[in-house]
Amino acid sequence: MGKRLSPTDSMFLVGETREVMFHVAGLMQFSPPPDAPRDYMRGLMDEVRAGIAAHWPWNVRLRTPNLLSNPAQGWIEDDKLDLEYHVRRSALPSPGDERELGILVSRLHGYPIDFHYPPWECHLIEGLEGGRFAMYIKVHHSLVDGFSAMRLLTLALGADAAERDRALFFAIPPPVRGPKPDPVGLKVAEVLGAARKQYGATKMVARAIAKVARRDDEGLISPGQAPKCILNARIGRNRRFATAKFPLARIKDLAKHSSATINDVVLALSSAAIRKYLAERDALPKESLVAM
């Protein structure tokens, strides 16, 4: 049974090129259990090969992978799903440091996803200092956005290190919903609902345009008015990835005392890092950069 893509998700496929890739990713680092054997990572891979069933959204692929811009694009279940293709094992020259990890992740993140398969990959990376390993997960934004992906991944993680019986993230069934409705009634409801949403969206956009037109706000930037910046160069395929560690407790404390959210603090850190980067290269624009 297929599922139609939403207009927003379809946009990420239409804009996909060899240089501009719309996948998102996450990197997590772990320490193995104190009693873990030397072949602990091999055991994880053996668990993947043991015939575990993948669940939505990790078990679907595009209906027409050769035509990403298909207006009738949708997700269909992949009955030939090969988890050994999606879950891969890599190793750094032990003991690997953060720089070497960044180089490997940069390479993994720099190549596009193959849409003939469900559009996600999971790389188990061993060889980090202290016997640690990392998990790098890449998923296309048309399938799952970054926030939803992290929420799904969190379901596979426990707060107690002794809790080791949780399923891998792709093997967790989706939440059980209510009784399945009548298919004919569902189709009619979908059509009516889509029409209502379209009508409501049109009204909302019209109101927003009228509101902007009435404003005399110097903060609004029209196309071509953003300051020139060395970051606004032609995008290529290569990506560079680096890590920086901050205590989560400190970030939460900053958010609490500044009446802000954790995202606000992370955004401020990112903004400060960009400013420092530009200043060190004597390339800091006189005017503030424009956020999209």
Q: Is residue 24 part of a domain?
A: yes
CA 173/CA 57 separation, integer angstroms: 9
What's the rounded mean pLDDT across residues 134-155? 90
pLDDT at 159 over 80: no
- 141 counts as catalytic: yes
Residue 173 near residue 55, CB atoms below 8 Å: yes
Total domains present in the chain = 1
Q: Is residue 239 part of a domain?
A: no
Q: Is residue 158 part of a domain?
A: yes
Summary mean pLDDT of the chain: 84
Q: Is residue 131 part of a domain?
A: yes
Q: Is residue 81 part of a domain?
A: yes
pLDDT at 185: 53
Task: Please pick, among 86, 109, 123, 141, the residue that the annotation labels catalytic.
Answer: 141
Q: Is residue 279 part of a domain?
A: no
CA 290/CA 157 separation, integer angstroms: 37
Cis previous bond, 285, omega within 30: no
- The reported pTM is 0.77
pLDDT at 213: 52
Q: Which domain holds residue 109?
A: 3-171
| pLDDT tens-digit readout, 10-59 | 999 999 998 899 999 999 999 988 888 888 888 888 888 887 889 999 99
Q: What is the CATH number of the domain that holds 30?
A: 3.30.559.10
With residue 246 as reference, give the H or E element that holds it.
Answer: none
CA 96/CA 116 separation, integer angstroms: 33
Which tops the pLDDT comparison, 94 or 113? 113
Q: Is residue 109 part of a domain?
A: yes
pLDDT at 219: 56
DSSP string computed for 171-223: GSPPPP-SPPPPHHHHHHHHHHHHHHHHHHHHHHHHHHHHHHHH---TT---T
Q: Is residue 214 part of a domain?
A: no
